[in-house]
Amino acid sequence: MLFRSHVHRNIYRPSVASIFPLSDDGELYLIRQYRYLHGETFLEEIAGHIEKNENPVEAAKRELREEAGLSAENWSEFGTYVGMSSVVKTRIHMFLARDITVGTASPEEDEAIEAVTMSLDEALESVLSGKVKNSIASLGILLLHTMRERGEL
């Protein structure tokens, strides 16, 4: 069955900053977070919506601090993608954060978040084995792996 454009119900959601902090010794910081919509805990990147009057890197820095208690000196955006281009209109800005400093997280009251570190190889295996189910986390890990293989990390 084909859908006609006037039948679609589009969803507009604020843009998102997705952060992939990578330590000097190659450890990737991820989070485990319970997602009520799915009723399960996901292994995923640190991410959050970009607020009004905030640019993507400002949002990335804020989310990194809030969700994982981390700060970073060096930032680079390594991709901007759209989410479900036929139904959901949103932009996802993907950042590599380097020169990490560990502090204290301050997640929102309704966020059950656990910080996790693993090597990029372990993260890649988690994607390939299906342990990482989040599409943006998977894409980011695969891109970082490719960048490392090309000598770009």
Q: What pTM did the predictor assign? A: 0.88
Closest-CA residue to 19 (of 44, 53, 54): 44
3-state secondary structure of 140: helix
Q: In this predicted model, what pLDDT tens digit does every residue of 47-75 receive, in sequence order?
A: 999 999 999 999 999 999 999 999 999 99
- Beta-carbon count within 10 A of 100 CB: 20
Does residue 3 register a pLDDT over 80? no
Alpha carbon dihedral 22, 58, 45, 21, in 10-degree steps, equals: 10
Q: In this predicted model, what pLDDT tens digit does every residue of 72-130 receive, in sequence order?
A: 999 999 999 987 777 778 899 999 999 999 988 776 676 678 889 999 999 999 999 99
Residues 20 and 132 sit within 8 Å (Cβ to Cβ): no
Closest-CA residue to 56 (of 17, 98, 97, 18): 17
Alpha-carbon torsion 58, 63, 143, 93, what sign?
negative
